[in-house]
Amino acid sequence: MSRFRSLFTAAVVAATVLPMSVSFAADRRVEIVNHTGVTMSAFHASRASTSDWEENIIRGQSLRSGQSIIIDLDDGTGACKFDFKGTFTDGEEVVSENNDVCTLEQFVFE
């Protein structure tokens, strides 16, 4: 009986801890691709749980149409869900919410 209880306890602990470990170990590098026909002048990514945009990740650079950049979105919190905002030289802003950067390898602005 105690062996069953120990195995059950171990299974419960593994089921609880393993998903947290996987999210902390996940690769959060995402290739951002611009296929809009317009140059991207700013790119922001913020945890989906926040209401403010973080700093411009491509500050001092631009991303012309047809170009891409790989960005590491690991902010140390273990978060996987991020909102993206691209700002373009024609004044348009494109927002995409709840992107899972733990599984997403590429995001295309079209």
- Asked whether residue 99 carries a pLDDT value surpassing 80, the answer given is yes
CATH architecture of 27-109: Sandwich (2.60)
Residue-wise pLDDT for 26-77, tens only, equals 789 999 999 999 999 999 999 999 999 999 999 999 999 999 999 999 989 9
Distance (Å, whole) CA 2 – CA 24:
33
Residue-wise pLDDT for 84-97, tens only, equals 999 999 999 999 99
Threshold 0.85, pTM exceeds: no
> Residue 99: in which H helix or E strand, if any?
strand 93-100
φ, ψ dihedrals at 53, nearest 5°: -85, 135
Residue-wise pLDDT for 1-21, tens only, equals 555 454 444 444 444 444 444
Domain ranges of the chain: 27-109
What is the reported pLDDT for 26? 73
